[in-house]
Each structure stands twice: as structure tokens, then as C-alpha cells.
Amino acid sequence: MTTPQALTVLGATGSIGASTLDVVARHPERFTVFALTAQRQGERLLELCLRHRPRFAVLGEADAAVALARALRAAGSSTEVLSGPAALVEVASHPEVDAVMAAIVGAAGLLPTLAAARAGKKVLLANKESLVLAGPLFMDAVREGGAQLLPIDSEHNAVFQALPADYGREPDRAGVRRIMLTASGGPFRETPVEALEAVSPDQACAHPNWVMGRKISVDSATMMNKGLEVIEAHWLFGAPAERIDVVIHPQSVIHSMVEYVDGSVVAQLGNPDMRTPIAHALAYPERIEAGVRSLDLFEVARLTFERPDFDRFPCLALAYRALREGGAAAAVLNAANEEAVAAFLAGQLGFRRIHEVIDAALERAAGLSVESVDAVIASDAEARAIARREIHKRQTS
């Protein structure tokens, strides 16, 4: 009998974490939970620890960790509680860990995900910011550590499935003409552009097809999420910006496509359920049951496609610009976007001001470096400071 894989879930209380644990619970003979982490949701993490019995639980805040440890002891649990960034690195790179689900949203996920890669783990990458902030460093860590990198974003996982098994980030050798990332278009695909000035956070978070956290939902509404995925696709698959297209596909049934030089287009289809790419990566190269409803093409009836409108979605254009500029531009883009989205969700910035903040940050942050982890962290901090100043200029009352 095969020994179960020991899994660390970074960001266990988020939507990706929940879907991961749902798949894992369906296959107790295949997977054990080594560690679960969260930033501050101690009560939710308590529930997950009692259900999945990890060896370690990690919270970002020390006081919350103390409270969690007390609650676990009272419940008779043997789970050990740790706290802080160093603990995230520890449970991501621990010798007993086989696989790491990297699902911490934002720049906070960089260091533990990088540590998992350096330690040669099977890295299930849902934290796109690791590649956006530090693409060269991360890919070097994967290669030098001997890690196995499997994408979890539905689009990148679809591309991965449509490529040859020995692809090796060489599109020309594999006969790949272009990569086509599909996008739903979010909740404002047909909203008049002038009406976007008055969009509320709740409206922006009402995604038509996917259930996601609030930050990533806003990114979907601005299509910054797709822009970050373009940058991620560049590092994952070795394709330049001009060979990565975005296709708006409102039904979210085709998750992405690969076009080959012979004219073939290979697509991966399925219902919009993150358990599909998660199950694919967890069991790769095998296939396992994920609890996902079968795709009924007769119910779908038709599939439609549109070109993205860069006037409606200026954040997507900014992402392409950052990829072409190289250097720290993508890290600046990500940092400024995180700050702008947080301000929007707090009611401090208008929806149509998000891209203005990012554009201004890209202009003012030229010359920053991402040649080392320390440089990435410094560039991220500087870009955030610039973005906060730009937000203040545009702040709503």
C-alpha cells in the first residue's frame, strides 16, 4: 500500500483551502494533513484542526495562536500551534512534508512558497503573486530544489493539461503557437463604462460564475486577476507576452486553450469548480474523484467568445505593460493593486480609480530591483508606499 502524501495547506481558511480539504477528505488513503495555516481566522482554523487533525497549525498573529492552542488543548487535540512568518516557512519546508498547497493570497505567500520550492516539495501553486513578484527567483528555486511545480489556477491548470507531458517551458520545441487564457469578464462585462464610477464593493464581489474571496473577486471585476495570470503564464510556460492571449468566455466552461503550429487548438473543459484543478494537481499524474458535477454540454447549449476591451479593463493593459517592461514592474503592479483594492473594499477609493493608482505607481517606481528576495521585499514595500500616497490623493470622503 502506498504511503499517504503529507500535505501542508498554506491559507487553509480561504476558498482554495476549503476546496483542497474537501478533496483530501474524499481520499484518506492518499493524503494526510501535516499543517494548516491562516492569518487570523482562529475560530475557523480550530474547526479545521479538529476535523483534519494536522500535526501543526499556524496563525499569523501570536495572540490568536495562544487562544487557538488553548482551545485545542481543551478539546483534547494534540495539534501544535505556531505563529508568524518563520513558522509558515517551517511547515512549508519541513522534511516530512511531501506537498504544499500554496494558497495564501497576495505577497504574504511569497516566502513560504519559495521555501517549499527550495526544499524540493510538490508545490501546488495557487499563489500567483510568487511568480508575479519574483518570477526568475522562484523558477530558479524550483529548478535548483528539484521541486515539482503544478499550477492550481483553473486557467493555468487547463494549459498544463493541454501541453505535452515533457513540455519543459519551450513553446517552440513543442510546436506551441500561443496560449489562450479564458476569462469570464466578471460582473461588469456588459455594464456601461460610465456606470463603473459608482460601483460598490458588494457589486464588484458578485462574480457570476466562481465563488471567491473579496480581493480576488475585485481583481476579476477589473480583470487584473487575468493580467496577473498572463504574467504567471509567462513564467510557468516560457511564452512571451505576444504569445499569451486573453479570451473573454462568459460561460467559464473552457478554462483555457493551447494553439499549436499545425492549427490544432487543445482546450480543457469542465464545470467552474476549483476542486477539478486541485484534484488534478494533488494526484498528478493520476486522476481521482473530486466531487465535481459532470459537465452537461446540452445544458450549456452554447459557448461564446469576445476580445477584451482595454478601455473597460485598463488593469489588463497595465499587466501586459508590466510584463513587457520586466524588472520590478510586475512586483510594483501587484503591490499597487493590493493597496488600491484594499482601499476600494474599505470605501476609500472609487472603482475606476484603481487603475489610476497602479499606473501612477508604475511611473514612479522605475528602477526598483527584484534580483534577490530582500530586493523583492524592498521593492514591494516602496511600491506600497507610493500607492498609498496616490490613494490619498484620490481618496473618497
Residue 125 lies in a domain: yes
Residue 300 lies in a domain: no
Q: Which residue has the cell 508575479?
A: 132
pLDDT at residue 211, rounded to an integer: 62
* CA–CA gap between residue 275 and residue 207 (Å, rounded): 18
pLDDT in tens, the chain (397 residues): 578 999 999 999 999 999 999 999 999 999 999 999 999 889 999 999 999 999 999 999 999 999 999 999 999 999 999 999 999 999 999 999 999 999 998 778 899 999 999 999 999 999 888 899 899 999 999 999 999 999 999 999 999 999 999 998 999 999 999 999 999 998 999 999 999 999 999 898 887 766 667 888 899 999 999 999 999 999 999 999 999 999 999 999 999 999 999 999 999 999 999 999 999 999 999 999 999 999 999 999 999 999 999 999 999 999 999 999 999 999 999 999 999 999 999 999 999 999 999 999 999 887 788 889 899 989 999 999 999 999 999 886 4
Residue 114 lies in a domain: yes
Tell me, what CATH number does 58's domain have?
3.40.50.720
Residue 389 lies in a domain: yes
Q: Which of 123, 151, 179 is the last residue of a domain?
A: 151
* CA–CA gap between residue 201 and residue 206 (Å, rounded): 9
pLDDT at residue 209, rounded to an integer: 65
pLDDT at residue 102, rounded to an integer: 97
* CA–CA gap between residue 21 and residue 207 (Å, rounded): 23
pLDDT at residue 62, rounded to an integer: 93
- Please write the tens of the pLDDT for every residue from 90-129: 999 999 999 999 999 877 889 999 999 999 999 999 988 8
* Phi, psi angle pair for 182, to nearest 5°: -85, 155
* CA–CA gap between residue 126 and residue 8 (Å, rounded): 13
Residue 102 lies in a domain: yes
Residue 27 lies in a domain: yes
* CA–CA gap between residue 252 and residue 209 (Å, rounded): 7
For the entire predicted model, the pTM comes to 0.92
Q: Which of 151, 169, 197 is the last residue of a domain?
A: 151
pLDDT at residue 397, rounded to an integer: 46
Domain of 85?
Answer: 5-151
Cell triple for residue 277?
484543478
- Please write the tens of the pLDDT for every residue from 182-216: 999 989 999 999 999 999 998 988 877 666 678 88
Residue 238 lies in a domain: no
Say which amino acid occupies 289: E
Query: Domain total for the chain?
Result: 2
Cell triple for residue 79?
495539534
Residue 223 lies in a domain: no
Q: Which of 104, 124, 151 is the last residue of a domain?
A: 151
CA distances for 204 relative to 190, 207, 320, angstroms? 13, 7, 22
Which residues have CB under 8 Å from 23's CB, separation 6+? Answer: 275, 278, 279, 282, 288, 290, 291
Tell me, what CATH number does 387's domain have?
1.10.1740.10
* CA–CA gap between residue 105 and residue 11 (Å, rounded): 8
